[in-house]
Amino acid sequence: MLLAVASLVFVFLSSYAFPDAYRDTLQAATAVGTWQGRAALDAGAPRLEVGTAAIERSGARELHEVLRTLPGLNVQDYGGIGGLKTVSVRGLGAAHTAVCYDGALVSDAQRGSIDLSQFDLDNTGGIAVEIGAADDLFLPAGTSTAGSVLSIVPKPLDFSGGPTHAEAAWTWGSFGTLKPAVRIDRKIRDGWGVSACGSYLRSDGDYPFTGRTITADGALSEPGRLRREGSDVSTFKSTLRLEGHDRRGGTLRASADWLDSQRGLPGPVILYTQDPTERLRDRDLSTRASYDRTSSGWRLRLDAGYRRFRTRYTDASPIYPEPVDDRYLQQVGSLGGILGWQRDLGTGGTLQAVLAQDLRLAHLHANTAACPQPTRLGGITTFSVQYAGPRLKATASLTATLMHEWVEVREAAPDRHRLSPSASLSFAAAPGLHLRAFAKEGFRVPTFNDLYYDRVGSISLVPEKARQAGLGATWHRVFGRADLAVTADAYHNDVTDKIIAVPTMFVWRMRNLGRVRMDGIDLSAAVTLPLGTRYTFHTDASWSFLDAVDVSDPSAKNYRHQIQYTPRHSGAVSTSVSTARASLGYTLCAVGPRWYLPQNIPANRLPAWFDHTLAVRWRIPVRRAVLTLSAEALNLSGTTYEIVRSYPMPGRQLRITAKITQ
C-alpha cells in the first residue's frame, strides 16, 4: 500500500506530457521484430517479447524452442515431440509461471504447471513474458499471484489481401514426423470475421540414442545405437474463432479450441532394458469469449471461459495384476472482468487505475483410488494503479485471493485468503536509458494432486510463497537505420514453504518443507543492422546467471547446494540475415552443468549442453499466392544431451515445411 500511496504522490510531482492512450501492449509488441521490443524497455520489471518475424527468422516451430532462448527462463524438457515441456522463470519452478492464451488464464488445478507443447506456435502472433510485477495491467486477475506471466497471442485474423485468407502447410520431419495444417480467415461482414484452423501432427518419435543392452548369452553389449521406444505421438488440434467490432468501438472475440492427443510415455532410459508400457490420451475442449471496449478514459474487458479436459493414463506393465487405467476429467469455468480508468493529468503524466476480478470454478473427477473429487472456487481481485510520465513510470498493485474447496468424501482443505502486493518503478535517467526496480510477493496454491492424491497428498499444505525483487537498466539507441537495445538485471528471490514430496519409509508425503534462496543476473542485447539496401542483420543474445541454493535444512548434506536442474550459467544467441523474401538464421542455446539430485557432488552432475539450430526460409510469389519454403536443422551437433536425467534429447533432426498462403 505504501507504494500505491507513493505512486499517487508521483502524480502530483510530475510535470511531463503523456503521449499515449490505452493500447494493447502485446499487439504493439508483435509489431517489433526482435523480442526486446521498445514497449518492453520502459517497464518497471523485465518484459520479454518475441514477435512473429523473430520467431520465423529463428526457425522455431514449437513454443519451447523460443522460450529457451530468453534470459532468466529455464525450459524443462523430457525430450522428443511428446515429452513434457514446462518453463520455470528465475528458478522459481514451473508452477509459478502463469500461462495466458488469447488473454485468458490457462490453469490446471490438478497439476499446476502447463505443458507448453499444447500451444501451436504456427498460429501464434507473439509471445510475451512478464517477470515479476506485470507492466500490462489488463491481464486477468488470476495471473497476479504468479511469479511471472507467459502470454501467448494467437495470430490475428488477416484480411490484408482480401475478404478471404487461406493457408495450407505441410511439414516433414525426422523420426516419422508429419504435420499438415490449414487455416481459413473469412470476412463475414464489415468489421466481423471468422477463422478456422486445424492441424494434425504425427510422429514415431523413435529417435536414436547411445546405450548398452544385455545379449542373449548374458554379456553386456558395447555401447551402440538404440532407438527410443514407445514415444509415438498423434495430435489433432483445431480452432474456430469469431472476431468483430461493434459500432461503439467494442471488440467481441469468441473461440473454441479442440485438442485430441495420443502419445506413448517412453519413460526414462533405464540402463540395459527398455520396456515402455505407459500411454497418455488427452482430449481438451476450451471455449472462451471476451468483450473489450475503450471509451473516453475508460476501458472495460469482460471474459468468460469454459475448459473441459480429459486425461486417460494407462500402464500395461506386468507388475500390475490388471493394467492401470486412470481417468481424469477436469472442468474449469471462469468469469473475469477488468475495468480501467485513465486520466490525463494535464501536467504531462497519466494516471491509470485498474480493477480486475476473476472468478474461477474448477472440478476434478478421477477414478483413481480415494480421489475425493475436489471442487475449488477461487475469487481473485487485483487493484492496480500506474502513473506514466515521459521520465517516470510507477506501478503498484494489490491482489486479494479467496479460495474455498469442497470434496465428496473425507475432508477438504481449509479456506484460504491471502494478499499479495507488487510494485515497480521505471525512470528514464537519460535519453534511451531506463532504470527499473520491482518487488513482488506471489504464491502458488497447492494443486489437487498436492492436496488430495491418495495418501501422498496433504490438506494441511499452505501456499508456496515466492518473493521477488529486481533492479535493472535498459538502454536503447537508434543509429541511423541501426538499432541497439541492451538490458541488464539483477534479482533476489526467496521461495518459502516450498511444496515438496518427502519420502517416508512407506510413501511420499507432500509437505511445505523447502526454502530456496536465489540471486541472479540476466543480460541481453538485441541488434538490428541494415547491410546495404537489401539485407538486414539481427542478433539477440542473452546470458543468465542464477545461484539458487537450498536453505531448507542446515543439517542436510545439500544445505546451500544449487537446487536440482537449475544451471548457474545459461545463454543463447540467435542471429539472422534476412531480405524481404528470404532469411537465414542460426540459434545457439547453451546451458551449463546442473545437478539432477539435490546434492552437488560429481555423481549427480549433468554436463553442459549446446544446441545449434540452422534455419532457412524463402518466400516465392506464385501468381496471387505466396509459397513459403522453410527448413530447419535442429541440434546440429547431434549430441543426445539430457535436460532431465535419463531422458535423452533427440539428436540431429531435419524439418521441412512448404506453406502456401493466399
User: What is the distance between the alpha carbons of residues 126 and 167, in angstroms, rounded to a whole number?
Assistant: 18
Are the C-beta atoms of 94 and 76 separated by less than 8 Å? yes
Beta bridge mates, 651: none
> Which DSSP helix (H) or strand (E) runs through 403?
strand 392-406
Could you tell me the smallest distance in angstroms from the CB atom of residue 105 to other proteins? 18
> Which DSSP helix (H) or strand (E) runs through 250?
strand 250-265
CB nearer to other proteins: give 604 or 662.
604
Amino acid 555 reads: S
Could you tell me the smallest distance in angstroms from the CB atom of residue 95 to other proteins? 5
Could you tell me the smallest distance in angstroms from the CB atom of residue 294 to other proteins? 39
CB nearer to other proteins: give 479 or 506.
506
User: What is the distance between the alpha carbons of residues 199 and 385, in angstroms, rounded to a whole number?
Assistant: 42
Could you tell me the smallest distance in angstroms from the CB atom of residue 317 to other proteins? 8
User: What is the distance between the alpha carbons of residues 429 and 452, in angstroms, rounded to a whole number?
Assistant: 51
Helix (H, G, I), strand (E, B), or coil: what is residue 142? Answer: helix
CB nearer to other proteins: give 17 or 601.
601
Nine-digit cell string for 446? 497447492
User: What is the distance between the alpha carbons of residues 4 and 439, in angstroms, rounded to a whole number?
Assistant: 13
Could you tell me the smallest distance in angstroms from the CB atom of residue 279 to other proteins? 10
* Interface ranges with other proteins (CB under 8 A): 84, 86, 93-95, 111-113, 212, 214, 218-220, 265, 267-273, 275, 278, 311, 313, 315, 317-321, 324, 326, 328, 368-370, 447, 449, 453-456, 498-509, 511, 514, 556-558, 596-599, 601, 603-604, 645-646
CB nearer to other proteins: give 231 or 447.
447
Phi/psi for 106 (5° steps) reads: -100, 115
Judged by phi (left if over 0) then psi (alpha if -120 to 50, else beta), residue 286 lies in beta
Could you tell me the smallest distance in angstroms from the CB atom of residue 640 to other proteins? 15
CB nearer to other proteins: give 110 or 375.
110
Three state DSSP letters for 519-571: EEEEEEEEEEEEECCCEEEEEEEEEEEEEEEECCCCCCCCCCCECCCCCCEEE
Torsion of CA 525, 531, 537, 543, to 10 degrees: -30
Do the strands 324-344 and 148-154 form a parallel or antiparallel pair, or are they unpaired? unpaired
CB nearer to other proteins: give 29 or 518.
518
Nine-digit cell string for 188? 463475414
Could you tell me the smallest distance in angstroms from the CB atom of residue 312 to other proteins? 10
CB nearer to other proteins: give 262 or 575.
262
User: What is the distance between the alpha carbons of residues 261 and 117, in angstroms, rounded to a whole number?
Assistant: 11
Could you tell me the smallest distance in angstroms from the CB atom of residue 494 to other proteins? 15
CB nearer to other proteins: give 213 or 347.
213
Are the C-beta atoms of 248 and 293 separated by less than 8 Å? yes
Helix (H, G, I), strand (E, B), or coil: what is residue 23? Answer: coil
Could you tell me the smallest distance in angstroms from the CB atom of residue 374 to other proteins? 15
CB nearer to other proteins: give 158 or 315.
315
Could you tell me the smallest distance in angstroms from the CB atom of residue 264 to other proteins? 12
Do the strands 97-101 and 148-154 form a parallel or antiparallel pair, or are they unpaired? parallel
CB nearer to other proteins: give 93 or 336.
93
